[in-house]
Structure 1
Amino acid sequence: MLGKHVLAIALIGGFLALGWWQISRASAGNTLSWAYAIEWPVFAGFVGFLWYREIREALGFPAVRPAADATDSADAADSPDASGAEPVPTPALPPVLGTRAPKIGSGFRRPVLVPRQPVAAASAAGAADPELDEYNDYLAWLNANPGAKASAYPGRRRGPG
């Protein structure tokens, strides 16, 4: 962790020094250096921003605070009711690579799971499509013959047009 701090400080200092160097070149008559004189401090600011976010994440603060909205009323439904029954705890999601697991009550939301309609049920609901069936047969043949060329497909061939 100390290496990240040293790297951030070195990059910010180096980028600001390069910006100062470009200012001295621009004042000597190199007009292109005016753009670089602005660009290097922007790079330093970007590194500073990333450094700040890394520190906040390491301390366990969320990067973005969720706005209070109607979904907070759903959280109130999770609290114990008048009967005194405790809610069932929600398991924590596995952490994403490079992040820490969210703390319960830290403002993180669970992802919304949307049920999907199975493909078979979707095709049964509509009329039979001969072009789709032909294409699926072609794909099945390609899967069964991985070394074959597409031009060797023995199925129905259509001419141009």
Structure 2
Amino acid sequence: MPPNPTSYDTASEMAGGPGTLEGMKRLWTPAWIARHVAMVVLVVGFLCLGWWQVTRAASGNTLSFGYAIEWPVFAGFVVFVWWREVRHTLRGTRTERPTPAPSATAGSEPAAATAGVRRPVRVSRVPVPGDGVQDGDLAEYNRYLSWLNANPDAKPGDYPG
């Protein structure tokens, strides 16, 4: 029976798409194999620890009831993170088409390219000149910092001033 064209997903048949062999090759690199193995070891270990806590709880240790629930939750979290990373990696193989930026008319201000990206703000790093009077405590502190900079091996308690 041919697939229904209205519900058939052709995205998985694109070159490098999530369901193709080329897309799945990204999950068989040495780093991903280590992640798969770590996920299996952690899930099996957490479920074994959960079963161990169930047997302790059955023998009368009431505190183990909480741990018997906690360890499978940890295993579920590991599976969740692993699945999310797999999906993220497979979605990264698709080539996204950039949306064309709207053209600006003469006299109008250009629109921001991306809502989350802002232009850097330039801040003057030149000290603002005051009345010419310098605070005595500030001058003493600056001398202290200059002495610490000139004597990097000295302790702050060695300051002669």
Taking structure 1 as the reference length, the TM-score comes to 0.57
| Structure possessing the higher relative contact order (Cα contacts under 8 Å, 6 or more residues apart) | 2
Question: Cα gap change, 1:78/1:115 in structure 2, threshold over 3 Å: closer, same or farther?
Answer: farther
2:37 corresponds to = 6
CA offset at residue 132 of structure 1?
Answer: 1.1
Question: Highest Rg: 1 or 2?
Answer: 2
Question: Cα gap change, 1:14/1:152 in structure 2, threshold over 3 Å: closer, same or farther?
Answer: closer
Matched, 1:130 2:131: no
SS at match of 2:154: coil
Give, in whole Å, the separation in 1 of the partners of 2:43 and 2:81: 11
CA offset at residue 149 of structure 1?
Answer: 4.1
> Percent identity of the aligned residues?
48
Matched, 1:22 2:53: yes
For residues 50-103 of structure 1, the C-alpha deviation after alignment (integer angstroms, 9 at most, x for no partner) is 212322332246xxxxxxxxxxxxxx99433468xxx9xx8xxxxxxxxxxxxx
CA offset at residue 139 of structure 1?
Answer: 0.4
Give, in whole Å, the separation in 1 of the partners of 2:104 and 2:41: 55
Give, in whole Å, the separation in 2 of the partners of 1:108 and 1:13: 44
Match of 2:121 among 114, 117, 120: 114
Structure 2: unaligned runs, 5 residues or longer: 1-31, 93-98
SS at match of 1:120: coil
Match of 1:57 among 88, 92, 110: 88
Aligned-partner residue type, residue 2 of structure 1: I
Give, in whole Å, the separation in 2 of the partners of 1:2 and 1:51: 12
1:98 corresponds to = none
- Size of the alignment, in residue pairs? 118
Q: What root-mean-square deviation, in Å, do the aligned CA atoms of Structure 1 and Structure 2 show?
A: 3.3
Give, in whole Å, the separation in 1 of the partners of 2:89 and 2:150: 50
Structure 1: unaligned runs, 5 residues or longer: 62-75, 91-106, 156-161
2:65 corresponds to = 34
CA offset at residue 34 of structure 1?
Answer: 0.9
SS at match of 1:58: helix
